[in-house]
Amino acid sequence: MRPVVIASANGHQFRNGGPETCVERAFRLMTGPAPRDVLDALVEGVTIVELDPGDTSVGAGGLPNADGTIELDACCMHGPTRRAGAVAALRGVPTAAAVAKRVMETTPHHLLAGEGARRFAEAYGFPVQEDLHTPRSRAILAEWRRRVGEQPAGADEPARWARGYATGARMERDGLIDPNHRWGTIACCGMNAAGDLAGVTTTSGRAWKIPGRVGDSPIVGAGLYVRQGSGAAGSTGRGESNLLALSAFAIVADMGRGLAPLDAAMAALRQVRDDAVDPALKNARGEPNFNVKFYVLSAAGEVAGAALYGGDHVRFAVCTEHGAELRPCEALLDGGME
């Protein structure tokens, strides 16, 4: 088999001051003179993005919830052993993917959440920080709070949350938030020379989310799924849509039945589009007013990136023996989200 690593675009954009991006490090570690396990390599790769202060979609500096606190979700899956681990609503530990992997390795559970996830991480030696904000995320938070305005004590919480979401959307339109980071995540899947498959997702979730909100990233079959012999799929974008459709599972199941990665991804995107029946989720053309993207790897080493909506900024990362590159995602729908 020819080794390959595939990821969302931030997998080949951030280096945290070092020489390698996520996909480059993961590929090197699983193909070097002493090859690392494919999942070990992927987690090492996404850790670069989790710790890079320039990225506002994962780890340290991820965009926060409506209280201004960064809560992280992550999941990992290991194809050969058919094991998985995850954390949700984790506070104080930027390397959520590594914590998820430790859950997989050391417990009989799949998912730990909230305070329990933080205590688990601390028990296994992960440094816990009081504040995961970086100067960049703190500046974005300050501007968001300025635009939202003062909220009196005891203010109506649902109204405050709705105003926070709307303010975040305006900041995106004003160019103050990366359009890929309001629903920020990194998804990364890989296959080594032995054909072993694995995947990992890690995220700070939807910006300005209701505290405690958990998206698709830590849920097996929603934002990530790996099946040895069939393939792997990860996702970024509106997590609630993937939770409803179990999109990652559907893509891998279709590849197991013989569909090519792009065809399987497009079938999942059509399901996401068809499920968006709520008028609040539709634009003026009656199409979804949000984006969902899939990063797909077959057991034969074929890759695809697909999205509801395309464009110059909608890309995915691939690394092979020929090096790393960004490629455009194939789009299901024409036009923009608005």
For residue 181, pLDDT beyond 90: no
When pLDDT is averaged across residues 54-67 and rounded to a whole number, the result is 94
Q: How confident is the model at residue 289 (pLDDT cuts 50, 70, 90)?
A: very high
Say if CB 183 and CB 165 are below 8 A apart: no
Pairing of strands 83-90, 111-113: parallel
Residue length, the chain?
A: 338
Nearest CA among 66, 111, 119 for reference residue 91:
119
CA atoms within 13 A on the CB side of 67: 10
Distance CA 92, CA 129 (A): 5
Q: What tens digit of pLDDT does each residue of 198-210 get?
A: 999 999 999 999 9
Which of these is catalytic: 21, 134, 185, 201?
A: 185
Domain residue ranges in the chain: 4-133+177-333
Per-residue pLDDT, 184: 76
* Residue % of the chain over a pLDDT of 90: 90
Q: What are phi and psi of 145, to 5 degrees?
A: -65, -35
Query: Residue 48: pLDDT band by 50, 70, 90 thresholds?
Result: very high
pLDDT tens sequence across 293-336: 999 999 999 999 999 999 988 999 999 999 999 999 999 999 88
- Mean pLDDT of the 127-141 span: 95
Q: What is the β-pairing status of strands 4-8 and 315-320?
A: antiparallel
DSSP states along 192-258: -TT--EEEEEEEEEETTPPTT---STTSBTTTEEEETTTEEEEEEE-HHHHHHHTHHHHHHHHHHTT
Overall CATH class of domain 4-133+177-333: alpha beta
Is 202 tagged catalytic? Answer: no
User: Does residue 131 have a pLDDT over 70?
Assistant: yes
